Structure 1
């Protein structure tokens, strides 16, 4: 039986729209494309939808209740007032993709997005060798993914284990029982620090004391949803004010962490010391065994070969739409509003962006 020639090029698959990423933003975009009877494909580097959630820490819970976290067309199963766990979120996203039978192509890591040689539409290349041609492309790879740590982190001795928050999953990952620091002033930093403090080992929390805190309960979510505050565009006067304001943390999580006797707050981190310690505004740590960096992420769009990326690597867009006709972003922090990178905001942003793309000439 004759074998195929491995040098034979794989035929390019043509479709109307390519969605890159099968997280909540990509799945919400797929829902609206399907509603409009558009021929499309979703490409994701992972073996299943919702893979970004699978990489998060085991104890993670959503910051929004199930009733306020659903994607379009399919509410969360189970009690509406609960705050779903990480594993529940993964299951929900995978069920969502399966329920609507989206054309999802997994293990398809995109290596290049560029204009088609013909001058019309775009080409998408993947590590599998499969190529795609499309009139439209939606980049829904989620918030930035390249860890951002202070330059002085390099001064910590090699013996100090350093983990970005995306790589932290459980306390057993951090060897030893001695001092560990968690650096960051967001909700993930508080939850990870509490996870580690629960083991009894000393945890030094480099948290900026000026960070605002607010409750996270049914009353707050009813207020945010009913007033529409989460959906206020950053391009409005109120939205610009909200965008410039510090992101609040959940007051309950902050109070819970403070109750752990093994948790020690040192203030905003300022420098590394030769001993392997970190100096904060209020105090310094002892020599550390490990540091978890919950200090945010930078953009990583080197694979986009289009004039829509700024010199600092960030995508250039207005409410998700770019100057490249037919190319849009979804799922970014403050893509348009506070909810843009949340499950709560995936549907509204996707509906607006898909509608705009489909009405373009």
Structure 2
């Protein structure tokens, strides 16, 4: 599916017009759960499309995460459209199990995924290149070029680590690692004090992972963060009440969106059982001596810090006016002002479930239907 050079690359005065790449009905950037769900619905609609993924394998973003990671939802409530998880539906799958499920999903539905294709540019095609409607040219670092009437950006919210600015005050003797790069305790130097900064489930799991080695672990966790049980009853109630599916644009949705994300109460309780783990409250500052200041306590001089402080999106490759002044995607339930361009897989794209595995299907069904309804005009 490779094409020739972009039309804009024609040499001035040349009479040789390069042949543009074949026009697809749609192109999906990112073959994670959201992208695969979109591919499922495009396949059902009979559309011509490809999925481009920067990774070397489907599910790589899962398999590359820390060794002890498990899904925060059970298998029975984590399926994509058309295919449930194999095995015990009550289990909480491992990160490698999640990667295998996604790879099996793509193979089962024969989705056209192209790997090692990091997208470097998404731009509007020259006017008249693909009449009568708008089209987009997509380039990858591997030198491939594609054209499509519709583009779905499903690279997700977890792209660039959001490390606080005060981290720059720490000396070079403190190893700093974003949670995206953390795999196992042996990565961190020495056996002295380390810190984990963050108020989410990943922070709790990583802190417990490190505390299990016996070394002192200081956790900069905001203890005002709500905690909920994570069991079959809770998930059944959430599904029955529909709370996870409440749209953000409703009054209840706006209220839920303003609430802090809860953590798993069992993970918090497990961490508290380690005598060598101390919660120091939300981190306020880093000291040049190599210590971290929390609202409840200050750490001793640290050997390493894992920053589990979230991510910010990175869309430098998208050359379209579909972002707000802060660089965030500007969309209405995934649909942008650019004809035929949409986002999927973002936190609260439509509801709380949007960035969860089981929320990928409903969002993809709605977005794909809306995109295909915009016929060439």
**Smaller-chain TM-score range?**
over 0.9
Q: After superposition, give the CA deviation of every residue in 1:42-65 in whole Å (9 maximum; x if it has no partner).
A: 001111111211221110011110
Runs of 4+ in 1 over 6 A off after TM superposition: none
Pick aligned residue for 1:55 from 64, 71, 74 = 64
Q: Which residue of 2 aligns with 1:179?
A: 193
Distance 1:259 1:122, change over 3 A: same
Deviation at 1:273, TM superposition (A): 1.2
Pick aligned residue for 2:88 from 75, 79, 83 = 79
Aligned residues: 353
Q: Which residue of 1 aligns with 2:11?
A: none
Pick aligned residue for 2:314 from 300, 308, 323 = 300
Measure, in 1, the Cα distance between the counterparts of 2:189 and 2:324: 40
Structure-to-structure mapping, 1:1-361, within 5 angstroms: 12-118=21-127, 120-361=134-375
Measure, in 2, the Cα distance between the counterparts of 1:48 and 1:29: 18
Q: Is the 1:10–1:129 Cα contact (8 Å) retained in structure 2?
A: no
Measure, in 1, the Cα distance between the counterparts of 2:286 and 2:143: 44
Deviation at 1:14, TM superposition (A): 2.6
Measure, in 2, the Cα distance between the counterparts of 1:319 and 1:288: 43
Deviation at 1:11, TM superposition (A): 6.4
Q: TM-score, normalised by structure 1?
A: 0.96
- The Cα RMSD (Å) is 1.1
Q: After superposition, give the CA deviation of every residue in 1:210-251 in whole Å (9 maximum; x if it has no partner).
A: 111111111100000111110111100100000001111010
Measure, in 2, the Cα distance between the counterparts of 1:72 and 1:10: 38
Q: After superposition, give the CA deviation of every residue in 1:55-96 in whole Å (9 maximum; x if it has no partner).
A: 211100111100000001110000000000111001000011
Q: TM-score, normalised by structure 2?
A: 0.92
Deviation at 1:159, TM superposition (A): 1.1
Q: Which secondary structure state, in structure 2, belongs to the residue aligned with residue 225 of structure 1? A: helix
Q: After superposition, give the CA deviation of every residue in 1:247-274 in whole Å (9 maximum; x if it has no partner).
A: 1101010000000111111000011112
Deviation at 1:15, TM superposition (A): 1.1
